[in-house]
Amino acid sequence: MRTPRLEIDLDKIYFNTQTLVKRLAARGISVMGVTKAVLGAPEIASVLLKAGVSSLGDSRVENIKTLSRAKLDAQKILIRTPMLSQVDEVVANADISFNTEIEVINALSAASLRVDKTHGIVLVIELGDLREGIMPNDLGSILTKIRRCKNITIQGIATNLACLSGVAPDATNMAELSQLANSVEATLGSRLRIVSGGNSANLQWALGGANIGRINNLRLGESLLLGRETLHRKAITGLHIDAFTLIAEVIESKTKPSQPWGVIAQTAFGEKPPSTSAGHQSQALIAIGRQDVDHSGLYPPPGIEILGASSDHLLVDSGDSSLAVGDKVKFNVNYSALVRAMTSPFVHKVMKQKSTPIDKPSLSIK
């Protein structure tokens, strides 16, 4: 098998998803499976659907197209507001898109009219994390304008917290979203299908016994794939945190002085060189780099310590584990390392299900 490779255990993803879908269903909350970290990989999307997610969400229209081409029987939702330059592609491939700007909604309306389709929108509301969203006070005026847009239907409202500012979903901001759902419905005179409270950072709130109010959906990515909640990155009890493992190969192994010599300026990435102790160390060079992975999000096996990385090389102190040229080293990954490894065409993706490997050497990137 080729290296470097990301081994993807589809059974573990299935188990994580089914577990969270069931726990949330007991609270009246459906799950939108978010596939952006895996570039909309149809094999993974189909596992999420089998495990019970009610729809698929992705932030990139390219990934939504990948899902479209796979002809999965699922509602597809673009969860980032569309670029004006992409509205035709959005209408052609997504059933619903998340929106915050009237210009974009007008353009989606025009694009939908051109192809005689109806496009659904979810209005994203800013509740303090200061990434995307309509300010609650501006909701009334944007609703008036949207009601004039032909071929656009308002499917729901949503908010997104814990991303840019780390604002935690709690009883206060979730109650505000519920109350806004009521007031939007009063204005429209119809019921909203979706009231989406947030992402994997909402799990503690949703499963903690709080009053969930009008919230009937969460959009989950990281918790399904890596088994962690994202407020404190704690493993969720009972879930697998190792559905993805990265395997890379040693190309040099030597004992070298632990201190560099010569005049010290800056490194390839403009950082200060790592500070190391005196003496010698067993160091191994592994053929994977920053172009392929965020090395700060790699968890090496016990006894091995990551010293640094450049574009194409990862340097580790192999301690007493004496790595030899040709050895394969297995790492666990965090979300950041996962996203970059999925996106690198140099990292092969190997899907495994019920001990039968489904080799997908090139998940093509469009």
Ligand X SMILES: *Cc1c(COP(=O)(O)O)cnc(C)c1O
Contact residues: ligand X, CB under 6 A: 34, 36, 59, 79, 160, 199-200, 219-223, 230
Least spacing, CB of residue 160 vs ligand X, in Å = 4
Name the residue whose CB lies closest to ligand X. Answer: 221
Structure tokens, 108: 């989606």
Q: Which is nearer to ligand X, 34 or 152 (CB)?
A: 34
The answer to whether 36 is a known catalytic residue is yes
Structure tokens, 104: 């974009």
Least spacing, CB of residue 357 vs ligand X, in Å = 26
Least spacing, CB of residue 308 vs ligand X, in Å = 28
List the Cα angle 214/236/357 in 5-degree steps. Answer: 110
Judge whether 142 and 102 are in contact, CB under 8 Å: yes
Judge whether 225 and 204 are in contact, CB under 8 Å: no
Which residues share a beta bridge with 219? 32
Half-sphere exposure of residue 108, counting CA atoms within 13 Å on the CB side? 32
Q: Which is nearer to ligand X, 230 or 318 (CB)?
A: 230
Q: Which is nearer to ligand X, 32 or 298 (CB)?
A: 32
Q: Which is nearer to ligand X, 74 or 288 (CB)?
A: 74
- Tell me how far apart the alpha carbons of residues 106 and 297 are, in angstroms, rounded to a whole number: 41
Which of 198, 151, 191 has its CA nearest to residue 170? 198
Least spacing, CB of residue 176 vs ligand X, in Å = 18
Least spacing, CB of residue 99 vs ligand X, in Å = 12
Q: Which is nearer to ligand X, 91 or 220 (CB)?
A: 220
DSSP letters for 35-63: -GGGTT-HHHHHHHHHTT-SEEEES-HHH
- Tell me how far apart the alpha carbons of residues 217 and 31 are, in angstroms, rounded to a whole number: 6
List the Cα angle 347/351/352 in 5-degree steps. Answer: 135
Q: Which of 12, 22, 36, 349 is catalytic?
A: 36
Q: Provide the 10 A C-beta neighbour count for residue 125.
A: 23
Least spacing, CB of residue 230 vs ligand X, in Å = 5
Q: Which is nearer to ligand X, 10 or 220 (CB)?
A: 220
With H, G, I as helix, E, B as strand and everything else as coil, classify residue 223. helix
Helix (H) or strand (E) holding 343: helix 335-343
Active site residues: 36
